Amino acid sequence: MNAGYVSVIKEMFPKANIIIEPFHLVQLINRSMNKIRVQVMNVFKTSNQEDIESSFAAYSKQFFF
């Protein structure tokens, strides 16, 4: 949910519980991961698939390990 909506809802309905559906949460995560994937692939532009895989593996360790 957009942060602007959350602040308005809290102001207008102070006792309301804010609920975010799992679908929209997963959608947000997928969009964020895709954006990062595109940025990484643009950094490692090459036509050699092995170079892409080894570069991405090294780069991904910074995020996941």
Interval 18-65: pLDDT, tens = 887 889 889 889 999 999 888 877 776 766 666 666 766 766 666 665
In a domain, 3, yes or no: no
Where on the phi/psi map is residue 20: left (φ > 0), alpha (ψ -120 to 50), or beta?
A: beta
Has residue 26 been placed in a domain? yes
Our count of domains for the chain comes to 1
Q: Is the residue at 24 inside a domain?
A: yes
pLDDT score of 15 more than 90: yes
pLDDT of residue 60: 67
pLDDT score at 30: 92
Asked if residue 57 belongs to a domain, the reply is yes
Rounded-to-integer distance, Cα 62 and Cα 52, Å: 16
Instruction: Please give the pLDDT value at position 63.
Output: 63
* Strands annotated E in 1-65: none
- Can you give the residue range of the structural domain that contains 40? 19-64
Nearest partner of 28 among 60, 1, 61, judged by Cα = 1
Q: What is the pTM for the complete model shown?
A: 0.48
Tokens 């909506």 sit at which residue? 5
pLDDT score, position 13: 92
